[in-house]
Amino acid sequence: MKNILLLNLGSPKSLETKDVRDYLNQFLSDDNVIDLPKLVQQFILRCFILPFRPAQAKEAYEEIWTKEGSPLIINTQKIADALAFKTGWNVKIAMRYQFPSIKQVIESFKKDGINEIEVVSLYPQHAMSTTLSTALEVKRVVNKYYPELKLNFVDPFYDHPDYIKALSESIKPHLKKFDKLILSYHGIPMRHIKKSDVLGDHCEGSKSCCSSDNEAAHKCYRSNCYHTSKLTANYLNLDSNDWMMTFQSRVSVISPDWLKPYTDKELNKLPSKDIKKVGVACPSFIADCLETLEEINMRGREDFIEAGGTSFTYIPCLNDNKYFISALEKIISAQ
């Protein structure tokens, strides 16, 4: 029987302002998220983010919070439960930030005498702020609390055929509802792209660069997003005019230069281009969360309709979709 650790980003443990602040403080103190000299990072965090953003984030979380708690944690647990039910594997979840913590889960593996696990970050595309940060933290915790534990890391699955099938099949039933499909990915600062360029001179910021197939492209978040998008469009038989790739969730105080085009700005512009019906899917998010439920399905919808749009179709994340659970089984088994 395989022992699986599924990892996701994290969420405040409650709607108390203190818990929201603690979550943001831990998240944004990660050197792979705000990748600036520590003094500069903490100055930005303590002077420009933590005095204001916790209250704003609390209001947003209140819009999507359930009786059971955070949608991200609930949906991640549903994925684990579905995978365990389908395979008979021992599947546990942890969050990169806050609870359930990586330390808690590693200690539970140790208590149970488990000496080898498969580590799966639920981020399909590689990025220093997600897959790298999470892998480094898992290694740090294991080295400190259970160094005998063998770790098998599952690679990002942005182009895996079964992931593409799962994503595409989740979109397919909605295709007749809109004129253009928007594939909205979490944004990252452009400097993260440059820092992740393992060849040093690969990234040109062009489509030809993103579509290449080499070591640098495999480690490049924007290239990963492009490949996910292109493969999905091909699966759905979409022409180039039928879809677009955008990036959301930028924080300008962290960096003025983020991956473009910006989802919110495109939603505001599209109605003026006579595109009045859109569908939006968020392929970089496996489980529905604040960024999909509130930022896209609430604020994004409102912005698009106010700009003159007539129909906004939000396509839920894969969550415990049967195609994705089957894909996850194959992705893990193939490692």
Kindly report the pTM of this predicted structure.
0.95
Confidence band for 208, pLDDT divided at 50, 70 and 90 = low
Same domain, 152 and 176: no
**Domain end point (choices 124, 157, 190):** 157
Q: Is residue 58 part of a domain?
A: yes
Same domain, 92 and 132: yes
Same domain, 151 and 14: yes
For the chain, how many structural domains are there in total? 2
Cα(167)–Cα(311) distance, integer angstroms = 21
For the segment 275-286, the average pLDDT, to the nearest whole number, is 98
Same domain, 14 and 102: yes
Query: What pLDDT sits at residue 19?
Result: 97
Q: For residue 32, which of 227, 221, 218, 279 has the smallest C-alpha distance?
A: 221
Q: Is residue 144 part of a domain?
A: yes
* Orientation of helix 322-333 relative to helix 161-171, angle to 10°: 170
Same domain, 310 and 174: yes
For the segment 137-142, the average pLDDT, to the nearest whole number, is 98
Question: Does pLDDT of 278 surpass 90?
Answer: yes
Query: What pLDDT sits at residue 20?
Result: 97
Q: Please report the sign of the dihedral spanned by the C-alpha atoms of residue 6, residue 118, residue 222, residue 101.
A: positive
Arithmetic mean of pLDDT over the chain: 95
Q: Is residue 329 part of a domain?
A: no
Same domain, 168 and 313: yes
Same domain, 228 and 275: yes
Q: Is residue 331 part of a domain?
A: no
Residue type, 271: P
Same domain, 68 and 174: no
**Domain end point (choices 157, 184, 202):** 157
Q: What is the pLDDT of residues 65-84, one digit of tens each?
A: 999 999 999 999 999 999 99
Confidence band for 205, pLDDT divided at 50, 70 and 90 = low
Domain that holds residue 88: 3-157
Q: Is residue 254 part of a domain?
A: yes
Q: Is residue 112 part of a domain?
A: yes
Query: What pLDDT sits at residue 11?
Result: 97
Question: Does pLDDT of 209 surpass 80?
Answer: no
Q: Is residue 335 part of a domain?
A: no
Question: Does pLDDT of 161 surpass 60?
Answer: yes
Q: What is the pLDDT of residues 215-231, one digit of tens each?
A: 678 889 999 999 999 99
Query: What pLDDT sits at residue 335?
Result: 75
Q: Which residue has the tokens 């949608």?
A: 71
For the segment 227-254, the average pLDDT, to the nearest whole number, is 96
Same domain, 313 and 257: yes
Confidence band for 262, pLDDT divided at 50, 70 and 90 = very high
Query: What pLDDT sits at residue 170?
Result: 98
| % pLDDT > 70, the chain | 95
Q: Is residue 333 part of a domain?
A: no
Same domain, 210 and 137: no
Contacts of 112 (CB under 8 A, 6+ apart): none
Query: What pLDDT sits at residue 3?
Result: 98
Question: Does pLDDT of 187 surpass 80?
Answer: yes
Query: What pLDDT sits at residue 204?
Result: 58
Q: What CATH number should be reported for the domain holding residue 32?
A: 3.40.50.1400
Question: Does pLDDT of 23 surpass 90?
Answer: yes
| % pLDDT > 90, the chain | 91
Same domain, 220 and 89: no
Q: Tokens for 151, please give them.
A: 């770790």
What's the helix, strand, coil split of the chain in %, to 5? 50, 15, 30
Same domain, 247 and 138: no
**Domain end point (choices 139, 157, 175):** 157
